Structure 1
């Protein structure tokens, strides 16, 4: 959702010549990508933890 919002801001900025809005859109997209990566790492860590717990049984 955040990526889509960022793309919209960037597009509006390009259409209107508003470099600040365009930059905000790019920043929103980068923030969303970083958030996705952090979530992905967390999911992988949980999977490793779960598999280690199952090996102990």
Structure 2
């Protein structure tokens, strides 16, 4: 995952955390729920990027192993 993608995902989670806390402080349930949603979206995106990177690494490892077998 690019560093920029990781920063965007973390920023979304951090903004969501702030919204949630502000919602709790002001007794605004809608803002609190929006914050929780933002946090979850950031976590899902981060997990998706991690899975994609691991899959790409596994494909690269498999290609490298096949190349080594042919030599």
Give TM-score, length-normalised by structure 1: 0.95
Structure 2 residue corresponding to 1:50, chosen from 60, 63, 66: 60
- What are the ranges of 5 or more consecutive residues in structure 1 without an aligned counterpart? none
RMSD: 0.6
Aligned to 1:9: 19
Q: CA deviation at 1:47?
A: 0.5
Q: Which runs of 4+ in 1 moved over 2 A?
A: none
Q: CA deviation at 1:45?
A: 0.3
Give TM-score, length-normalised by structure 2: 0.77
